[in-house]
Amino acid sequence: MGREYPDVPITGATAVVIRDGKVLLVRRRNEPGAGKWSLPSGTQELGEDLRDTARREVLEETGITCTVGELVYAYDVIERAADGRVRYHFVLVGFLAAWVSGEPVAGDDADRAEWVPHDEALARIVWPDVRETIRRALIQNSQ
């Protein structure tokens, strides 16, 4: 099953990696959202735990090793084609994560990766659900 025009929603995970008051962001290389800033995220592989998905995607997209903690937020990403058909449908589960090692280097589906102060991170993100995931993670991280 392909990502574009799927028969069923595709499950994925995302991580809000926080280090020294900054959030790890990537600029997406591929659709959906090519050229836009987001959190490291990707699709779950068969037999893979969602936390492992989040950890793997962070490493593949940024070179950062992290520990993945608590669930933050879950949401749908649905994009329709001009004819009304569902072009993309992802169910993303977001987790709070903590930096362990490494410096951001874009890889896999990202063309840039960097640490960004949380206010600036929220301003760069165009998708309301991704901003909400970051907001909730920052609240959880401060408790």
CATH, residue 25: 3.90.79.10
**What are the structure tokens assigned to 126, written together?**
């165009």
Question: Does some domain include residue 120?
Answer: yes
Question: Does some domain include residue 3?
Answer: no
Question: Does some domain include residue 67?
Answer: yes
> What is the rounded end-to-end Cα distance, in angstroms, of the chain?
41
Q: Give 3-state DSSP helix, strand, coil % of the chain, rounded to 5.
A: 25, 45, 30
| DSSP state for residue 20 in the 8-state scheme | T
- Which residues span the domain enclosing 138? 10-142
Instruction: Report the C-alpha gap between 39 and 62 in whole angstroms.
Output: 10
Question: Does some domain include residue 79?
Answer: yes
Question: Does some domain include residue 138?
Answer: yes
At 1 the pLDDT is: 60
Say if residue 36's pLDDT is above 90. yes
- What average pLDDT score do residues 30-39 get? 87
Say if residue 76's pLDDT is above 80. yes
At 120 the pLDDT is: 95
Instruction: Report the C-alpha gap between 138 and 143 in whole angstroms.
Output: 9
- 14: β partners: 41, 94
Q: What is the pLDDT of residues 81-119, one digit of tens each?
A: 999 999 999 999 999 999 999 999 988 788 999 999 999
Contacts of 97 (CB under 8 A, 6+ apart): 15, 16, 17, 18, 54, 55, 58, 66, 67, 68, 69
Instruction: Report the C-alpha gap between 39 and 9 in whole angstroms.
Output: 20
* Structural domains of the chain, count: 1
- What average pLDDT score do residues 115-127 get? 94
Give the pLDDT band of residue 143 (cuts 50, 70, 90): confident
The model carries a pTM of 0.91
Helix (H) or strand (E) holding 13: strand 10-19
Question: Does some domain include residue 47?
Answer: yes
Q: What is the pLDDT of residues 38-72, one digit of tens each?
A: 999 999 999 999 999 999 999 999 999 999 999 99
Question: Does some domain include residue 5?
Answer: no
Say if residue 2's pLDDT is above 80. no
Question: Does some domain include residue 101?
Answer: yes
At 106 the pLDDT is: 86
